Amino acid sequence: MASGDNDHIEIMDSSVLKKLDTTHSGSEDDDRDRASIAEKNAPYDPAVGPSGAISKVHKSDRKIGHRRVGEGGEITYKKIQSSQIMGSIQLGIQHAIGGLASKPERDLLMQDFMTVETTNFPSEGSNHTPAHHYSEFKFKTYAPIAFRYFRDLFGIQPDDFLMSMCSAPLRELSNPGASGSIFYLTNDDEFIIKTVQHKEGEFLQKLLPGYYLNLDQNPRTLLPKFFGLYCYQCNSKNVRLVAMNNLLPSSVKLHQKYDLKGSTYKRKASKTERQKSSPTYKDLDFMEHHTEGIFLEADTYSALIKTMQRDCRVLESFKIMDYSLLVGIHNLDEAQREKSEARQRDSQSDDEDYNRKSGLNRTR
Average pLDDT, the chain: 80
Q: Is residue 13 part of a domain?
A: no
Q: Is residue 329 part of a domain?
A: yes
Least confident of 36-40, 162-166, 304-308, 314-318: 36-40
Confidence of residue 49 (pLDDT cuts 50, 70, 90): low
Q: How far is CA 172 from the centre of its chain?
A: 7
Domain stops at, among 245, 273, 300: 245
Q: What whole-number distance in Å separates Cα of residue 247 and Cα of residue 173?
A: 14
Same domain, residue pair 172 and 271? no
More confident residue, 362 or 7: 362
Domain stops at, among 204, 224, 245: 245
Same domain, residue pair 272 and 183? no
Same domain, residue pair 147 and 193? yes
Q: Is residue 285 part of a domain?
A: yes
Compute the average pLDDT of residues 240-265: 88
pLDDT at position 353: 65
Q: What is the pLDDT of residues 171-189, one digit of tens each?
A: 988 665 556 688 899 999 8
Same domain, residue pair 196 and 74? yes
Q: Is 82 left (phi over 0), alpha (psi -120 to 50) or beta?
A: alpha
Determine the structural domain holding residue 266 and report its residue range. 256-333
H-type alpha helices, the chain = 15-19, 28-41, 82-100, 144-153, 158-166, 198-206, 208-217, 271-274, 283-289, 298-317, 332-363
pLDDT at position 352: 65
Q: Is residue 231 part of a domain?
A: yes
Contact 224, 202 (CB under 8 A): no
Question: What's the start-to-end Cα distance of the chain, in Å?
Answer: 58
pLDDT at position 129: 93
On the question of pLDDT at 34 being above 50, the answer is: no
Compute the average pLDDT of residues 232-245: 93
Q: Is residue 209 part of a domain?
A: yes
CATH number of the domain to which 192 belongs: 3.30.800.10
Q: What is the pLDDT of residues 200-214, one digit of tens each?
A: 999 999 999 999 998
Q: Is residue 47 part of a domain?
A: no
On the question of pLDDT at 77 being above 90, the answer is: no
Domain stops at, among 191, 218, 245: 245
Confidence of residue 290 (pLDDT cuts 50, 70, 90): very high
Task: Give the residue among 325, 107, 327 at the shortest CA–CA distance from 216.
Answer: 107
Q: How many percent of the chain have pLDDT more than 90?
A: 51
Q: Is residue 43 part of a domain?
A: no
Same domain, residue pair 160 and 71? yes
Contact 71, 98 (CB under 8 A): no
pLDDT at position 58: 44
Q: What is the pLDDT of residues 52-70, one digit of tens each?
A: 433 344 444 466 767 777 7
Least confident of 4-8, 52-56, 333-337: 4-8
Same domain, residue pair 148 and 292? no
Same domain, residue pair 237 and 153? yes
Same domain, residue pair 89 and 216? yes
Confidence of residue 82 (pLDDT cuts 50, 70, 90): confident
Q: What is the pLDDT of residues 83-122, one digit of tens each?
A: 889 999 999 999 999 999 889 999 999 999 999 999 999 9
Task: Give how many domains the chain has, as a whole number.
Answer: 2
Q: Is residue 359 part of a domain?
A: no
Same domain, residue pair 327 and 210? no
On the question of pLDDT at 24 being above 60, the answer is: no
Confidence of residue 81 (pLDDT cuts 50, 70, 90): confident
Same domain, residue pair 104 and 241? yes
Q: What is the pLDDT of residues 254-287, one digit of tens each?
A: 899 999 999 999 999 999 999 988 899 999 999 9
Same domain, residue pair 281 and 206? no
Confidence of residue 130 (pLDDT cuts 50, 70, 90): very high
Compute the average pLDDT of residues 16-45: 41
pLDDT at position 363: 55
The whole-model pTM stands at 0.73
Side-by-side strand order, sheet with 226-234: 116-121, 137-142, 226-234, 237-245, 191-196, 183-185, 171-172
Q: Is 300 left (phi over 0), alpha (psi -120 to 50) or beta?
A: alpha
Q: What are the DSSP calls for 284-349, one per residue?
A: HHHHHH-TT-----HHHHHHHHHHHHHHHHHHHHTT-----EEEEE--HHHHHHHHHHHHHHHHHH
Same domain, residue pair 265 and 240? no
CATH number of the domain to which 297 belongs: 3.30.810.10
